[in-house]
Structure 1
Amino acid sequence: MKNHILICLALMLSVSVFAQQGKQKRADTLFNKFSFVKAAKVYKDLIEKNYNKDYATRRLADCYAYLRNPQSASRYYKKVVEQENVPIEYYYSYAQSLRGIKKYKESQIWLQRFKDSGGIVNANDFSKDVNFITSIFNAKQQYFLDRVRFNSKYSDFGAFEHDGKVYFASSRDEGVSVKRLYGWNEQPFLDVYVTEVGSRRNVDHTGKLEGDVNSIYHDGPVTITKDGRTMYFSRNNYNDQVRKRDNNGLTGMKIFRATLQDSIWTNVEDLSINSDDFSTQHAALNNDDTKLYFTSDRPGGYGGSDIYVVDINIDGTLGEPKNLGNVINTESAEGFPFINNEGVLFFSSDGHTGLGLLDIFATIKGENNDFVDVVNLGVPVNSNKDDFSFSMNPNGITGYFASNRRGGRGDDDIYAYHREPIMQVEGVVTDAINTKPIANSVITLFDDKDNQIAYMVTDENGFYQINIDRNKDYKIVGSQEKYIDDYRTFTSKNIQTELTTITANLLLNPVQDVVKLAELNTIYFDFNKYNIREDAALELDKIVSLMLNDYPEMVIRIESHTDSRGALTYNDKLSIDRANSTYEYLISKGVDPVRITEHQGFGERRLTNGCEDGEDCEEEAHQLNRRTQFIVVKME
């Protein structure tokens, strides 16, 4: 009897183990097919049955991470990282999930543990800037959220405005009797919807885009050419009623093109950049519709998904795709590119320094039109959750993005925004005499209470630029060691949102250096002569040195005179000869002729004393009248 009991217990145990093995296999199959909602339920059951618990816990945490649920993911990752011999990648996953629930300091600790264990952190990871969170929350807010009335309890994203209408992707298949569900999140498949800009009515299944764009699988988001005739859109690899799969049996994404005929989007066309072996999606067009930007996980990228660009030829064919490089793309996921009217690329990434999961970034280009950096758009556009599918309307002020942050109506929600661009005061500091820019001028900005709020120096072109607040009064002062200060008062009150720059140029007048100018001594001549004496040459050499070395912009005028002896006409000619001699001497020493505006003779008409005709004067008194003087016209 005992043997029978033992045999029965053994059979029961083996049947139970066999059942749990089958359950784990089923969970893994669901996981590998991206059916994360269903897979999570099975992994939970395995944990409750204490079967391969460590493995099931890791998989369950991954399920929640893929479902973009950092709250639940972090709860299970916390248990995972306590396991013995856990793969170090889970330290990184835990760090990211903590970031998704705003536990930034704790996230930093686990990221450091990942690095200390030999993990390689993305080159653009948030660890590069430990002060990032503080700086991003303290930055001047540019974007302000507006209400969107057409969100649903399902996933809504990819809003794109064109010709008075908003096109967006949504899984809201409400009002339809038969719903096909997407295994990843157990929601209906995405379709493209359209509504009027500013519409207050709810968008139901009647708002689906008419034509051949929507299929039985995922469709959207879309972008449309400026002429409104061509649409590029994302869709599962499904066309002409045929669904294609890759080598793993999965159906990826492609970008298709449709044309507008009789108000219907039709003639759906597969593009040359697509493949059955990898995904291509998230179409975006540049300002003149000559380039198509997109997201792809094709081979040869930096990891995850990357952003690419391809030329659109005149005949509609496409060139060879080009990866946008590692300034934009990281080892993680980048996607949802958008190009505004100024040519700025916006995109989403979880590999760059961000606030949580996916964040939205703008790009900065260098002098050679290449990408040199990316900038996080900050709050409230970005949050600790997924923020993506950013678009901007042609006015550069309004637009849309999507987020699964708390406080929304459903899963992913569309948010509208209006932008109040940072204002700047800028200008050039110029020499008031020669109109040339003054480099290294000190620029000080004051508020209306004379409190200093900014300080900088001009560049080599005399240029300055300072960010300012709107709706305030200011005073800006320019200073330089050799110049008299200049200032301007201005206001940023009642200025249109579209205007972002106030110009305040400053003119600085040179400070006359009394000591230096005193060295422009009068020179004297012998009676009835106009040659340059040795003592006069010494003085003239001082003037040459001042003009060539100390004041390279100084301009002078030469005035020569005689004493009263001799005829008036003779003295006029003699004074002119003396002016010419002085002029020619300076020119011979390298002074540019344009820097001597005049060299005139005044004869005996401007005596310095009372030694006029008929007066009895000593020779020393007459000598004072036989002279050439120098008058500064302009000066640095």
Structure 2
Amino acid sequence: MNYSVVKIFCLSLVFLFLGNTKIHAQDSKCTEFFRAMEYEKAIICLEKNQPTSAEGWRMLGEAYRLSGQASKAFRMYDRVLKNYDEEATQTDLLKAMIYSRMARQYGKSMEYAQLLLDQYGNNRLANDIIELDSLMDELSDRKTGIFSASPTSLADDQIDIGPMFMSEGELVFASSRRKAQLKRVENTSTGLGFLDVFKATIDGKNLDNITRLNENFQTDYHDGPVSFAKEGSMTAISRTLENGYNAQGQMPLGIFFGNKSEYGEWDSWEAFPHNDPTYSCTHPFLTDDGKRLYFSSNMPGGSGGSDIYYSDYTAEGWSKPENMGSRINTSFDEVFPVMTQRGDMLLFASDGHFGLGGLDVLIARKSSLGIYDIIDNPGAPVNSPLDDYGLVLDPMLEYGYFTTNRQASKNREDIYYAKVEVPFEFSKIISGIVRDTAGIGIPNSDVQLVDSFLNVLMITTTDEKGRYGFELQENGRYILEARAAGYNEGNNVIVMNPRQLNYTMNLTLPEFEGLSFFGRMMDGEARRFMEDVKITLTNLDNSDMQSTFSKKDGSFRFALDQYNLGQLYNIRLVVEKTGYQKKTFEFSVTFTENGPFVLNKVLNLSLTK
């Protein structure tokens, strides 16, 4: 029995037409097979008792699709479109468009895409299929891709999915293989065992010493995929929710967390608080520190199908899941999220983005705004016209593993080895949000990046949510400065190092409270910021004097509550620190606008020994 495990896990589109429709009497037994996920039996039944309704042909199309027979699947939807014109829906066209790509009928897929646009208006995937058709040769070229790919030694008649690194030299994966104690419940839909978690030692495409993980990872139904964090002491696993049922009468999937005791036992498990008996949360991925969970879910309120979400662990527990947004998620399925160790790329699979067909592995990189919205399809040989998903890469981004059902005729899902042939190149990204004191983003704020010599390197403006971003190549110490009408200036220092690519720096701007002098002290020889420099300000017109000390980032500020716009002031400024030569400045200034007057623009605020 061949079928797409990931589609069964998603449980999103399979029953779209069958949940609330009337099934003709001769189709009822076939429907029972289909709902039980016994797709080969459903196919035999439907082929023997030819469907007499659009719903019956749709069911046969889905049975073909989930049995790896995409060429027959799209023809069933073509039949619905031609013979049941009044009953045909937008989703019939979408499925015909997608399944024909899986069958390598790219010309036919373009015809469906154009028909979809003509009848129903704008559709992102249909537009991409037509506009990006010229890229198909490049995506299909196995010799020019980012990766090379080959089957691992696991390839057999079993289902092996969801590879994930457990520790250096070890890979974990979910499998139907029966190498250990059998589960008490049989998986009648496949004739194979329910998924369980196994591990193997890594030697390129050779995966050896295959053993089942601790019995505490096993339940009576599906267990896995799994992800590890905190140097292997914390895990997140996908499991069947044994007490839950969705609208189709199936048990959805949920996520559970385990922690290893000081004795090395996995004896502490707790459910993800956002599991729900009416939908699935699955394909968990934990960041190394265990503080963020990425997962896929078909929960209500998403873009459609299964979407990718994340949840952060806080003092109050796991936060409300956040949808990754419309650049990642589509009306189809986005599944198996994996974040690279440095946080520079989100790997996931989708059948709603432009690709070769079925689920394609996609790579989302951060833009300068710090959002994962630069989406790349690595093409063949990692991707194929069928389902390819679950890519995980080693920390050095040199090799990895993924799951594919491209050998559909061999009745299996296999884990393949992927080698990076074209090294990834990354810029360093500084991003964040400029907020007011209430935490609300300030749009149209000016943000500038300043180097340690106080040279302004880049200037940008925040978007409607107050977000900004800079992309640069060099490590070093930088100052971020933000200004907005009606607010005082905000600034902070960021130090970039060779081992980190992405930096987040949020800036808070207090509401404007009057005029001020602002400056920053520098060591003139070491070219670094100077802390604890005494600065004395004297208004020579009335001898009013005030003093302050520079902060760790060299900054200081004087509030000028008694000063007015349009009036000339004569000022003396004295800067001094033990071990350095004292400096005295005298100057005149007329304030022409509200906000801080930046002294570094007119004075050399550096000290030398």
TM range (shorter): 0.5 to 0.7
Q: Distance in 1 between matches of 2:110 and 2:357?
A: 12
Alignment of 1:226-625 (within 5 A): 226-238=230-242, 243-246=243-246, 248-261=248-261, 262-313=263-314, 317-343=317-343, 344-406=345-407, 410-422=411-423
- How far the C-alpha of 1:214 sits from its partner, in A, is 1.4
- How far the C-alpha of 1:44 sits from its partner, in A, is 1.7
- How far the C-alpha of 1:246 sits from its partner, in A, is 3.6
Q: Is 2:194 the partner of 1:193?
A: no
Please say if residues 213 and 266 of structure 1, whose CA atoms lie closer than 8 Å, have aligned partners that are also in contact: no
Alignment of 1:30-179 (within 5 A): 30-47=33-50, 52=52, 55-85=55-85, 86-88=87-89, 89-118=91-120, 121-122=123-124, 126-127=128-129, 128-137=131-140, 140-163=144-167, 164-173=169-178
Counterparts in 2 of 1:201 and 1:137: CA distance versus 1, 3 Å: closer
Q: Distance in 1 between matches of 2:125 and 2:386?
A: 22
- How far the C-alpha of 1:346 sits from its partner, in A, is 0.8
CA offsets 1:556-604 (integer angstroms, 9 cap, x no match): xxxxxxxxxxxxxxxxxxxxxxxxxxxxxxxxxxxxxxxxxxxxxxxxx
- How far the C-alpha of 1:183 sits from its partner, in A, is 5.0
Q: Which structure is higher in RCO with an 8 Å CA cutoff and minimum separation 6?
A: 2
Q: Distance in 2 between matches of 1:340 and 1:311?
A: 17
- How far the C-alpha of 1:266 sits from its partner, in A, is 3.0
Q: Distance in 2 between matches of 1:438 and 1:289?
A: 36
Please say if residues 404 and 411 of structure 1, whose CA atoms lie closer than 8 Å, have aligned partners that are also in contact: yes
Higher deviation after alignment, 264-273 or 130-139: 130-139
Please say if residues 174 and 195 of structure 2, whose CA atoms lie closer than 8 Å, have aligned partners that are also in contact: yes
Q: Distance in 2 between matches of 1:288 and 1:104?
A: 43
- How far the C-alpha of 1:27 sits from its partner, in A, is 2.1
- How far the C-alpha of 1:274 sits from its partner, in A, is 0.8
CA offsets 1:47-88 (integer angstroms, 9 cap, x no match): 1xxx62655333211222234431331343343333142514
Counterparts in 2 of 1:341 and 1:292: CA distance versus 1, 3 Å: same
Counterpart of 2:294, as a letter, is Y
- How far the C-alpha of 1:327 sits from its partner, in A, is 0.6
Counterpart of 1:194, as a letter, is K
Q: Distance in 1 between matches of 2:426 and 2:251?
A: 53
Counterpart of 1:112, as a letter, is Q
- How far the C-alpha of 1:222 sits from its partner, in A, is 0.5
Structure 1: state its 5+ residue gaps.
Answer: 1-19, 427-435, 440-460, 466-497, 499-636
Task: Name the SS of the counterpart of 1:187 in structure 2.
Answer: coil
Please say if residues 75 and 96 of structure 2, whose CA atoms lie closer than 8 Å, have aligned partners that are also in contact: no
Higher deviation after alignment, 139-148 or 322-331: 139-148
1:215 aligned to 215, 219, 223, which one? 219
Q: Distance in 1 between matches of 2:392 and 2:349?
A: 11
Q: Distance in 1 between matches of 2:112 and 2:103?
A: 14
Q: Distance in 2 between matches of 1:45 and 1:408?
A: 22
Counterparts in 2 of 1:407 and 1:30: CA distance versus 1, 3 Å: closer
- The structure with the largest strand share of the pair is 2
Question: How high is the sequence identity, in percent, across the aligned residues?
Answer: 25
Counterparts in 2 of 1:125 and 1:208: CA distance versus 1, 3 Å: farther
- How far the C-alpha of 1:106 sits from its partner, in A, is 1.7
Counterpart of 2:41, as a letter, is K
Q: Distance in 1 between matches of 2:286 and 2:127?
A: 28
Q: Distance in 2 between matches of 1:82 and 1:425?
A: 49
Counterpart of 1:359, as a letter, is D
* TM-score of the two chains, using structure 2 as the length reference: 0.61
* TM-score of the two chains, using structure 1 as the length reference: 0.58
Q: Distance in 1 between matches of 2:277 and 2:133?
A: 42
Q: Distance in 1 between matches of 2:231 and 2:76?
A: 51
- How far the C-alpha of 1:391 sits from its partner, in A, is 0.6
- How far the C-alpha of 1:388 sits from its partner, in A, is 0.4
- The structure with the largest helix share of the pair is 1
Please say if residues 125 and 353 of structure 1, whose CA atoms lie closer than 8 Å, have aligned partners that are also in contact: no
Task: Name the SS of the counterpart of 1:233 in structure 2.
Answer: strand
- Between Structure 1 and Structure 2, how many residues are aligned? 415
Q: C-alpha root-mean-square deviation of aligned residues, in Å?
A: 3.8
Please say if residues 113 and 127 of structure 2, whose CA atoms lie closer than 8 Å, have aligned partners that are also in contact: no
Structure 2: state its 5+ residue gaps.
Answer: 1-22, 428-454, 459-469, 475-498, 500-609
Please say if residues 124 and 351 of structure 1, whose CA atoms lie closer than 8 Å, have aligned partners that are also in contact: no
